[in-house]
Amino acid sequence: MTLIVRDDPVRWVATGAVVFAVILVSACRTPPLAARMESPVRSFPPADERAEQELLRELNDRFRAYHGEYFSIVTDARPEEVAEFRKSADETYAAVQAFAAYLDFALRSPGRKLPVIVFAQWRDYQSWAGRAGIEADQALPGFFDERTNRCVLFDYANLPLIKAKREELASMREDLRSAATATGGSPGMTTDQVRDMQDHIHRIETRLALFEALVNQTVVRHEIAHQVLCSLGVIRPGDGRFWLKEGLALQFETNSGLQHNQHRLNDFFADDANASLANVRSLIGDPQRLTVGADRLPEAYASAGVLAAYLISRSSATFVGYLRSASARADAVPERQARIAEFEAAFGPLDRDFELQFRGFVEGLRQGLGKAGDADQAGEWTQRKELQP
């Protein structure tokens, strides 16, 4: 049908009124599922549109589906926030691919984009986490559900503790503006007081930025890494070698694969015993050390990451053989000594020579570790030393 435009003001007004009415009515209706799904990106793998539709039906009308190169992200977060999650997810996927190429490890294709849910509302995230048997924690705004192969995240920009800090900043800025415009009998502020408040605001802004970066590294990229490693066949679902699963995920917490997360290294070097042979044996033999609620959990995670990095650097071929070993079967739940024996069969005895070589690797990391500065203080907002993945 051809649209004929006439130079008639009355007709223009009438036509505009009809169009406006149609737009207004459409805006008041619940958007159909098709409208809530972004047009698929022409890239491999394709989106699983049926799975997206089922998920959108399960969630409320605020949610939309967005497509990255490798992920289908269903969320009610703002588009600009979605872009950050999509960037982190796609970078993590690419880092795992590069890691597999480095190891000469043949990956399988997932066939479809990997599903990620990002919640903008804390209550919604709490409810969904509860359904998966996970207690929502502001210091842990994300998890990977092996049963559904979904990565579930909370938009950390909306974390209650971050929002509280933003409100505090807004209040201080308003006080500063009021002081700057004070006249007559108003108390005002001295130059030194203004400078002190400006410095205080800057410190909070710096800590806030560091905290958000910390969440992005230790939660978003970490949980996405679990999903990618599992989906591409590096780790099998149900693998009971928790130190290996967590240690591998820790390799991808920065935006450059196999570069150490400085905050994790700070946790590792918090206690020299983390480099001991006893700690390595305990880490391999006792999966409970890496479960939520375990004592000294941040140090255990950091130890798993450093141990995995050491073994990869020592012999990538040996590491690949261990990845593919028998205990990777979902039904294999070896006892402590069996876990240690399997480890020693791959990497050699856990003896004095192993400890000396491991400590040499650790010392190299220590020398390259810069100062974290205010990052050490970011964790005070969660009332704990560090975020836990």
pLDDT of residue 370: 57
pLDDT mean across residues, the chain:
80
Q: Distance of CA 153 to CAs 81, 82, 96, Å?
A: 12, 11, 20
Instruction: State the average pLDDT over residues 154-159.
Output: 86
pLDDT of residue 356: 96
How far is the C-alpha of 245 from the C-alpha of 227, rounded, in Å?
Answer: 11
Portion of the chain with pLDDT greater than 90, in percent: 50
Which residues, 6 or more positions from 377, have their beta carbon under 8 angstroms from its beta carbon?
207
pLDDT of residue 187: 57
pLDDT of residue 40: 42
How far is the C-alpha of 139 from the C-alpha of 314, rounded, in Å?
Answer: 34
Please count the residues of the chain: 389
Amino acid at 303: S
Q: Is the peptide bond before 334 cis (omega within 30 degrees of 0)?
A: no
pLDDT of residue 275: 95
Beta bridge partners of 73: 66, 116
Task: Name the more confident of 213 and 267.
Answer: 267
Question: Over the stretch 348-367, which tens digit does the pLDDT of each residue have?
Answer: 999 999 999 999 999 999 88
Is residue 281 pLDDT above 80, yes or no?
A: yes
How would DSSP label each residue in 43-69?
SSSPP-HHHHHHHHHHS-TT-EEEE-S
Amino acid at 160: P
How far is the C-alpha of 139 from the C-alpha of 296, rounded, in Å?
Answer: 15
Tokens in use for 180?
């700057």
pLDDT of residue 343: 95
**Band (194; pLDDT cuts 50, 70, 90):** confident
Pairing of strands 71-75, 64-67: antiparallel
pLDDT of residue 251: 93
Contact 157, 81 (CB under 8 A): yes
Is residue 200 pLDDT above 50, yes or no?
A: yes
Tokens in use for 41?
């990106």
Q: Tokens 């969320």 map to which residue?
A: 75
pLDDT of residue 349: 97
CA-wise closest residue to 118 among 146, 69, 159? 159
Question: Over the stretch 216-258, which tens digit does the pLDDT of each residue have?
Answer: 778 899 999 999 999 999 998 888 899 999 999 999 998 765 5
Question: Over the stretch 10-50, which tens digit does the pLDDT of each residue have?
Answer: 343 344 443 334 333 333 444 555 555 454 444 468 999 99
Tokens in use for 325?
């070993």
Instruction: State the average pLDDT over residues 299-315.
Output: 95
Portion of the chain with pLDDT greater than 70, in percent: 78
